[in-house]
Amino acid sequence: MRIIFLLAGLLTLLNAHAGEIDQPAAISALQRSDSLLIDVRSAEEFADGSLPGAIRIGHEEIAAQIASVAPDQDRPLVLYCRSGRRSALAQQTLEEMGYSHVINAGAYEDLLPLLENRE
């Protein structure tokens, strides 16, 4: 029984990195001209407001649509949603597909004041 709990704990630790929110890395990546800012929220949420320069690809659509906007798997991709949960799911999907520079920027409301002046 202890072994099961230890293995479960180890798996949790190993998977923790994939969903971590890293706003400093996101801001840094967005300084690059080749970065892509992706809103993974619903169309309704996007219509209510989005970050400057963002495109919308819902987290459930990311696997099917990413190649049309980012065929280069080394291109920096910065993802955000309402809380960071859906962007973490999209990040995991993209990393499993071979994308190497995917950053979970977290919540729209937290990023908005940081990126309001982005062109």
pLDDT tens per residue, range 6-57: 444 444 444 445 579 999 999 999 999 999 999 999 999 999 999 999 999 9
- Give the domain ranges of the chain: 2-115
Helices 108-115, 23-30: axis angle to 10 degrees equals: 40
Strand ranges inside 17-82, DSSP E: 36-39, 55-56, 77-81
3-state secondary structure (DSSP) of residue 95: helix
With beta carbons less than 8 A apart as the criterion, state whether 40 and 90 touch: yes
* Amino acid letter for position 59: H
Strand ranges inside the chain, DSSP E: 36-39, 55-56, 77-81, 102-107
Whether pTM > 0.85 for this model: the answer is: no
Tokens representing 81 are 């949603």
> What top-level class would CATH report for the domain 2-115?
alpha beta
pLDDT tens per residue, range 47-71: 999 999 999 999 999 999 999 999 9
Tokens representing 90 are 């999209």
Specify whether 107 is catalytic.
no
With beta carbons less than 8 A apart as the criterion, state whether 107 and 35 touch: no
Q: Exactly one of 81, 90, 94, 103 is catalytic; which is it?
A: 81
